[in-house]
Amino acid sequence: MYTNRPTPQILMQYFKNLPYENITKIFRLSLEPENRPRKLLTVFRDNEDLGSGGTCFSLTNSAVELFRQNHIPAWPIEGKMARRSFPHYAFICHYQGHHCFADPGYLIYEIISLPKNGASVQFSNGVIDYRITNLENDQYALFQNNNDNYQEKYRFSLKPVSDSLFRQHWLESFEAMHEIVLSRLLNDRFIYIHGNFVQIRTRNSTWKMADREKTRAALFEFFTFSPEQIAEAERLLYNHINERKVLNEY
């Protein structure tokens, strides 16, 4: 039967220009907690207006929402990191009899058909090489290649995380922000900014520096936020952290 419905790979093309960033998330701190998460249309509208993207929560939620709108079963999955207590999220879709994986929060936009029976699949986002290995049954691990050494990033299961639990973690994640964080792929470069740290990586080299001035220069060169928007985000985040300290939540 002929159908003109878009494939998962076509749907993921909509996310390639959406950077990872928590600036728009910080801006939402002024809202009541239940109103802070952004839905699909808001994420894309903000991208048109600001050149923004989102964090793993808003990007994963937008992808799941878009896939479901196009009648492709999709659900969020929790990436459990060894060194991190707060969960990371990606998503799984089921298409033409296969379970497929993507992680827009990690800038993995390609739809990866998941291996079985202990096998592995290798792929790249254009700059960074990855590997997914089937550990057992429906358990998987994502590895990232750093200097020819594949290091485990997180483990995940095919088992769906319920929409309610995903939303609970999403709401809680607003309280877990401590620094401005951004990353994107641009002109065969991976740019990562965390507070006053910047890393620029190509296929053949990695440059990194912990310097506020150079980090700010990279932020304004590679991302579309204005100095005024960054200053406002820093003010909102600083005030939010201090308010929580007063409430003894840190």
The domains found in the chain, sorted by start residue, are 8-176 (3.30.2140.20)
Q: What pLDDT does residue 170 have? A: 97
Q: Are 57 and 170 in contact (CB under 8 A)?
A: yes
Nearest to 63 by CA among 4, 118, 117, 105: 105
**Per residue in 35-78, pLDDT tens?**
999 999 999 999 999 999 999 999 999 999 999 999 999 999 99
Distance of CA 53 to the CA centre of its chain: 9
Query: What is the structure's pLDDT at 120?
Result: 98
What pLDDT does 84 receive? 67
- With contact defined as beta carbons under 8 Å apart, do 131 and 145 qualify? yes
- pLDDT at 191 (0 to 100): 98
Residue 85 pLDDT greater than 90, yes or no: no
- How far is 18 from 237, CA to CA, in rounded Å? 22
Confidence (pLDDT) at 82: 76
**What mean pLDDT, rounded, does the chain reach?**
94
Q: Give tens-digit pLDDT for 134-187.
A: 998 899 999 999 888 999 999 999 999 999 999 999 999 999 999 999 999 999
Q: Judge whether residue 250 has pLDDT over 60.
A: no
pLDDT value of position 87: 87
The one-letter amino acid at 160:
P
